[in-house]
Structure 1
Amino acid sequence: MVVVASPNSMIGEKILPIDLPMIDLSAERSMVMKRIVKACEEYGFFNVINHGVPYDIISKMEEVGFDFFAKPMEQKKLVALDKPFGYGCKNIGFNGDMGEVEYLLLNANVPSIPNDSSNFSSIVRAYTEAVKELACEILVLMAEGLGVPNTSIFTTFITQLDNDSILRFNHYPPKNSKDRDNSHSYNVAFGEHSDPQILTILRSNAVPGLQISLQHGVWNPVVPDPSAFCVNVGDLLQVMTNGRFVSVRHRAVTNSYKCRMSVAYFVAPPLDACIVAPSVMVTPNRPSLLFKPFTWEEYKKVTYSLRLGDTRIHLFRNCTQLE
């Protein structure tokens, strides 16, 4: 993952708004598969509508999330779970990275907090179960679109009880008052990074902040859509598709007068899962495996040992690959 040192817009950066592919999951199946594969190859990100997650589940989750972050700091700090889970503020990861963010990190298999008097745990559990079903549906569509004979090859990882998936609430403050006279300025709230897991299902309120980088030095702000989930490819999925899908770097900035809250479901396999592309991913265009096999535990250790923005996947590249 990558940290951006300066809090304000960087000299030489280009900011070019982008419209991510919008995919209607209720459309004809073969068309949906093709559009998902194309989006993963070209953008690494896409939006989905008609996703099947009930609106009341989403709205309740957002309500308890905002209620949690509105609590006094002393109360939020009491949510101290087994590391790395629990409440945090400013600190990102374990290596000194900082950001304009406070967060709540939960085990997606048991998304609960202690001393819960607001039904937070039951509401978030219902949300997580619904989003997990959505993730499984999308992963099956990806496998079918890629022509993988075993269409459950990706979903198997998250249907196992010991999967390592996590749920993360990020709460970003509005732009600082001293910056409000400059509509072109922003503060980097969560530095440049790629997601190390398989897939991310992201929900945010209708406040801009997400930016992706499809080419070096260019940042593309993503307009949020309250009716959609934003989906992005993680590092592991890039490996399992032998580089056909791209895990794109992204960041979050504060550039609004309103608070932004995002909720990310990170799809991760069990720690001992072997990450390798299936043989069908070796094609004339990719005549060898781009990455040597590794376990999620090995890759996770690398991820946690580096700062945001440091490259990681290249450490697992197959030295015998064709250039």
Structure 2
Amino acid sequence: MVVASPTPIRSEKIRAMELPIIDLSAERSEVSKLIVKACEEYGFFKVINHGVSEDVIAKMEEEGFEFFAKPTSEKQQAGPANPCGYGSKNIGFNGDIGEVEYLLLNTDPLSISQRSKTISNDPTKFSSAVTGYIEAVRGLACEILDLMAEGLWVPDRSVFSRLIRDVDSDSLLRLNHYPPLKDCLKDRDTSPSSMHSHHLLHHHSNSKINNGNRIGFGEHSDPQILTVLRSNDVGGLQISPEDGVWVPVSPDPTAFCVNVGDLLQAMTNGRFVSVKHRALANSYKSRMSMAYFGAPPLHARITPPPELVVVPHSCSLYRPFTWAEYKKTALSLRLGDSRLGLFRVQDDDQIAG
């Protein structure tokens, strides 16, 4: 079904473009080439024949929808998000607001088990669904990262994947729920606090989009290494390949959407691009997305393997830093602020070095 694009806010262009769809069951060397090309040109791609079972996905989706269908007072028992837990409208700590409610979980099984008591009426069932899903998408993320290393001709093919396989990995799972806007507007008409949110939303996020669509989750790049995203069959995701241009990503329940994070841009010495993206809330349908953010341990030192420092640049574009240092910077900024530029090596630093 073709749906008309929302009318853009001023100075924005909506461009039609299909992301590369990569069949992971195809010949391995060809797959690795296609992944590298997609990461260089788009920073985003879709994967099919990914090996994550429908049953694992269905169980996770069922738990997510069950949680978001609860009364607000019950959902709030799993919050406030600090940063993990339940959050609604407020995104992060710096004034970003969107038409979204979410559940952010650390991927550590013990943490999931403890937190599930405030999330589900059947904590064991919830924990089982979440840990099963995380295990499956972590495996998929590692396979993709290994294929990237092969396609980049890095001899140590686990150079990226071992960071998220590490027992101390700081990876996260985020469930985002975008309620239909007719529900949001109905709530807003009767609630003074919602009216206040409406004002902040418009003021802070430049988020009013004509045609009844609004920003669900504002423009940002993902700070981690790699994101593996799945959503139900409702559109909303848009990527920005260049300033002022937005490309709607068509929903596809058979595929996972994969995107490069800031750390991977740094570790490929700028060869792969971490692209800004956002999610619009749909006027009539509820949308739920499940994002696995593959991240290294906090102490991990982020630097490109030596093979990637020669091409396409003869020196490292970014100074070495730890994930803890980068994460702290990301949490101190607004959602749409550029972070990676703060770690870029200046030309005069290179001359001095």
Q: Which amino acid counterpart does residue 114 of structure 1 have in structure 2?
A: K
Alignment counterpart, residue 307 of structure 2, candidates 280, 291, 299: 280
Residue 277 of structure 2 is aligned to residue 250 of structure 1:
yes
Matched, 1:23 2:26: no
Match of 2:61 in 1: 62
Alignment of 1:147-296 (within 5 A): 147-176=153-182, 184-283=211-310, 285-296=312-323
Q: Tell me which amino acid in the other structure corresponds to 1:244.
A: R
1:257–1:82 Cα change, 3 Å: closer
Q: Which is greater in Rg? A: 2
Query: 1:296, CA displacement in angstroms?
Result: 0.3
**Does the CA-based 8 Å contact 1:196-1:235 persist in structure 2?**
yes
Pick from 113, 117, 121: which aligns with 1:114? 117
Which residue identity does 1:318 align to in structure 2? V
Partners of 1:284 and 1:37 lie apart in 2 by 14
Aligned 8 A contact 1:207 1:256 in 2: no
Equivalent residue for 1:133?
Answer: 139
Q: Percent identity?
A: 62
Are the structure 2 counterparts of residues 178 and 158 from structure 1 closer, same or farther at C-alpha, using a change threshold of 3 Å? closer
Structure 1 CA distance for aligned equivalents of residues 31 and 24 of structure 2: 6
Amino acid of the structure 2 residue aligned with 1:233: V
Quote the residue 1:4 is aligned against: none
Residue 254 of structure 1 and its aligned partner are, at CA, apart by: 1.4
Flag structure 1 segments of 5+ consecutive residues without an equivalent: 1-7
Count of residue correspondences? 314
What does the per-residue CA deviation read over 1:197-237, in whole Å, with 9 as the maximum and x for residues that have no partner? 00000010010000000011110000011100000000000
Query: 2:231, 2:289 within 8 Å by CA — same for their partners in 1?
Result: yes
Distance 1:284 1:259, change over 3 A: closer
**Is the Cα–Cα contact under 8 Å of residues 9 and 187 in structure 1 kept in the other structure?**
no
| CA shift for structure 1 position 17 | 2.4
- Partner amino acid, structure 2, of 1:147: W
Aligned-residue offset at 1:18 = 2.0
The whole-number CA distance in structure 1 between the counterparts of 2:150 and 2:160 is 11
RMSD: 2.0
2:4 is matched with which residue? Answer: none
Change in CA separation of 1:321 and 1:173 when aligned onto 2, cut-off 3 Å: farther
Which residue number corresponds to residue 196 of structure 2?
Answer: none
1:184 CA drift (Å):
4.0
Deviates more, 1:287-296 or 1:14-23: 14-23
User: Deviations along 1:125-179, whole A, 9 cap, x unmatched?
Assistant: 1011111100110000000000011001111111111110000000001233799
Structure 2 distance, partners of 1:273, 1:284, is 23
2:39, 2:45 within 8 Å by CA — same for their partners in 1? Answer: yes
2:280 & 2:16 partners in 1: Cα distance? Answer: 14
Q: From the two aligned structures, give the one with the greater helix fraction.
A: 2
The offset of 1:81, in angstroms, is: 7.7
| AA in 1 matched with 2:36 | V
Distance 1:71 1:176 in 2: 18
Residue 145, structure 1, aligned to residue 151, structure 2:
yes
State the 1:9 CA deviation: 4.0
What secondary structure, in the 3-state scheme, does the structure 2 residue paired with 1:304 have? helix
**Preserved CA contact (<8 Å) 1:40 1:46:** yes
Q: Taking structure 1 as reference, are residues 83 and 185 closer, same or farther at Cα in structure 2, changes over 3 Å only?
A: closer
Q: Tell me: CA distance 1:284–1:173, structure 2 relative to 1, closer, same or farther (3 Å).
A: closer
8 Å CA contact 1:44–1:247 kept in 2: the answer is yes
Higher relative contact order (CA 8 A, sep 6+): 1
| Residue number among 119, 124, 130 corresponding to 1:124 in the alignment | 130
In structure 2, distance between residues paired with 1:199 and 1:193: 14
Q: TM-score, normalised by structure 1?
A: 0.93
Any idea what the Cα deviations from partners look like across 1:37-86, whole Å, max 9, x if unmatched? 00000000000001000001101111111010000011111113883211
Q: Say if 1:161 and 1:81 are closer, same or farther in 2 by CA, change over 3 A.
A: farther
- Secondary structure (helix, strand or coil) at the match of 1:104 reads strand
**SS state of the match for residue 101, structure 1?**
strand
Q: How does 1:65-80 map to 2 (within 5 A)?
A: 65-80=64-79
- Give yes or no for contact 1:290–1:321 (8 Å, CA) kept in 2: no
Distance 1:14 1:74, change over 3 A: same
